[in-house]
């Protein structure tokens, strides 16, 4: 009886460690492949998704893509609100307008990436994700072109681009 409990305990321990291991190992590998990705960000973003526990690598990519889509949608609505804020000058408003368009377009692009990923067309999914990811750098570039402009979307853009790096890196592991 005691032995049975012990075995049950070992099996449970193994299972809990097993599912966290995949997130930790995959995030470690992904962070090593791209200096712009923080290991802690990767682990905390994935562990915050309830369905990530016990998920395999393929499911983790699908979950990350969904999280990225909801991020883009939320950034889009953040930008709509910023556009109403009087503290921004004309130049900043034009930049924000460009950013709005970029993030709005990123949503259907990422949805196409989900379709391609499900069809195991990793090449196409990679192109779509990379295109969506450009939204953050192109948005930032607009603000950087004029000296003294405050860039109001830094955290949002960083999060969004790191989520895309996670999808790309995990998918790269799957493709090999």
Ligand X SMILES: *[C@@H]1O[C@H](CO)[C@@H](O)[C@H](O)[C@H]1NC(C)=O
Binding footprint of ligand X on the chain (CB under 6 A): 34-36, 41, 44-45, 51, 59, 62-63, 66-67, 70-71, 73-74, 76, 80, 100, 104, 107, 137, 155-156, 159
Cα separations in angstroms, 142 against 45, 73, 105: 28, 20, 17
CB 38, min distance to ligand X, A: 9
User: In terms of CB distance, is 6 or 94 closer to ligand X?
Assistant: 94
CA 129/CA 62 separation, integer angstroms: 12
CA 99/CA 95 separation, integer angstroms: 6
User: In terms of CB distance, is 2 or 36 closer to ligand X?
Assistant: 36
**Residue sitting closest to ligand X (CB):** 45
User: In terms of CB distance, is 128 or 156 closer to ligand X?
Assistant: 156
CA 129/CA 142 separation, integer angstroms: 21
Q: Is 72 exposed, middle or buried (0-12, 13-18, 19+ CB in 10 A)?
A: buried
User: In terms of CB distance, is 51 or 120 closer to ligand X?
Assistant: 51
Count CB atoms within 10 A of the CB of residue 18: 10
CB 138, min distance to ligand X, A: 10
CB 13, min distance to ligand X, A: 27
CB 30, min distance to ligand X, A: 12
């Amino acid at each position: 009886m005691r032995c049975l409990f012990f075995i049950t305990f070992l099996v449970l321990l193994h299972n809990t460690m097993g599912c966290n291991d995949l997130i930790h190992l995959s995030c470690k590998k992904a962070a090593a492949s791209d200096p712009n990705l923080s290991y802690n960000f990767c682990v905390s973003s994935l562990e915050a998704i309830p369905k990530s526990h016990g998920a395999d690598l393929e499911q983790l990519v699908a979950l990350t893509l969904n999280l990225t889509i909801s991020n883009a949608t939320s950034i889009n609505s953040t930008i709509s609100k910023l556009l109403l804020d009087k503290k921004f000058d004309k130049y900043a408003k034009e930049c924000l307008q460009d950013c709005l368009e970029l993030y709005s377009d990123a949503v259907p692009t990422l949805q196409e990436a989900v379709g391609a990923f499900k069809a195991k067309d990793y090449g196409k999914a990679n192109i779509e994700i990379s295109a969506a990811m450009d939204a953050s750098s192109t948005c930032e570039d607009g603000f950087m072109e004029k000296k003294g402009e405050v860039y109001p979307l830094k955290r949002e853009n960083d999060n969004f681009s790191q989520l895309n790096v996670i999808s790309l890196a995990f998918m790269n592991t799957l493709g090999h």
